[in-house]
Amino acid sequence: MPMTVDIVKTASFDAKNPLIIVGFPGIGLVGSVATAYFVEKNGFEMVGYISSGDFAPLAAIHNYKPLPPVRIYYSKSLNIMVIMGEIVVPVSVSHDLAHRIMDFASELKATRIISVGGISLRESESAVYLVGNEQSNVNALVSKKVGRSIKEGATTGVTGTLLAVSGLSGYSMLAVLAEASPDFVDPKAASNALQVLSKIIEVPINTVELEREARTLAQGAKESAVKSKALGKKTGPTGGMYG
């Protein structure tokens, strides 16, 4: 069965042994928010995109410009390639997409793949977990208190498939998963993930704007809760969701 995923290059680039960072929507949209922020703040250039007939038929609009929803960026100075998506990848294409990313990594002789995303274990509000196919590497990072390990659990989608097949392909694969809310976009979790990523790749990442956005959202949520409770008191137990 032919692969349903294609990589289309839109600019020439000379990437040799780059680090590849991957981010797709998931819990709290952490992967998309974190990689988009990282790309924007570090002056990455868009060099291509990924297409599939199974992707949702839409265009992302940024700065008045329509763009493919799954894009590839590169920074020559950092020698980092970022693959970021702004659509939920259908289960039917997750396997092919992960394998196409692995093929791309092989073509570039990438040194490592790091996937950034969210997870909801509800153990610690600001925790960031590390899962990889090289346990010694994970243990070393955990011993330095860079992140936490997960003894039992599961991660699905593109990240899950990448973790499953990367070891067989000879690539070091690490997932950076920040505790996030499954109910809304979570910029605080994205900030936490980026702070851990910064330590791992040794590239400074200023997350001030994400922190500010997180505080704004948190304040809005508090105000909404207060108003809802006040409304509940006025209307009584049968007047709304809050009694």
Q: Which fold has domain 5-206?
A: Rossmann fold (3.40.50)
Which sequence spans correspond to the domains of the chain?
5-206, 207-243
What is the structure's pLDDT at 8?
94
What is the structure's pLDDT at 58?
84
pLDDT in tens, 122-169: 888 889 999 998 888 999 999 999 999 987 766 777 888 888 887 777
**Banded model confidence at residue 170, pLDDT cuts 50, 70, 90:** low
pLDDT in tens, 35-59: 999 999 999 999 999 999 888 888 8
What pTM was estimated for this model as a whole? 0.85
Please give the Cα distance from 90 to 54 (Å, whole number): 7
Please give the Cα distance from 222 to 44 (Å, whole number): 36
Burial 100-134 (b: 16+ CB within 10 A, else e): bbbebbeebebebbbbbbbbbeeeeeebbbbbbbe
Contact 40, 54 (CB under 8 A): no
pLDDT in tens, 213-242: 777 755 544 333 333 344 444 444 433 322
Please give the Cα distance from 22 to 10 (Å, whole number): 19
Please give the Cα distance from 52 to 57 (Å, whole number): 10
Q: In what order do the strands lie in the sheet with 70-75?
A: 5-9, 45-52, 70-75, 80-85, 19-23, 112-119, 172-179, 128-132, 148-149
| Mean pLDDT of all residues in 98-109 | 92
DSSP letter for 238, please: T
